[in-house]
Amino acid sequence: MSVLFSRPCEYALQAVLYLAQKREGEMTSAKELTSKLDIPYHFISKILQDLTYKKLLYSQTGPTGGFALAKSPKKILFLDIVEAIDGKDYKTNCVMGFSECGGEKVCAVHDKWKLIKENIHNMLVSKNIFEMAKEMNR
């Protein structure tokens, strides 16, 4: 698990990147994602539902059903997926876990972590899923 994002968020990023490599509108089952990405079925099912609810994915039931990106991968930022699963806490939470870290009360690494968070945010908004999937294919 990464230091920054939750395990479900990591799985969501992997799933969306996998879907971005498919033809537009091609449906992919949760079972295929489980098999190809080695993600437990109960995790991927919940994550796919969350991403569908947030309108990042489209789902269809039935024998030819599954999941697909709800919009062009060029219009989905890395940030969109992170915020859909983990929220915006990565921007505000103290890296040391203190509930109060800001203003007059700051932790020992507050100033350095603030710069790191800004860099992370810039990375999340600088790449769309199309670009990320393209880089993954190299």
Residue 2 lies in a domain: no
pTM: 0.86
CATH of residue 107's domain is 1.10.10.10
The total number of structural domains in the chain stands at 1
Indicate whether 46 belongs to any domain. yes
Strands 57-60 and 66-69: antiparallel
C-beta of residue 58 within 8 angstroms of C-beta of residue 68 = yes
Domain assignment present for 1: no
- 16-51 pLDDT, tens digit each: 999 999 988 899 999 999 999 999 999 899 999 999
The pLDDT tens digits for 67-103 are 999 999 999 999 999 999 998 877 778 877 888 887 7
- Boundaries of domain holding 75: 7-136
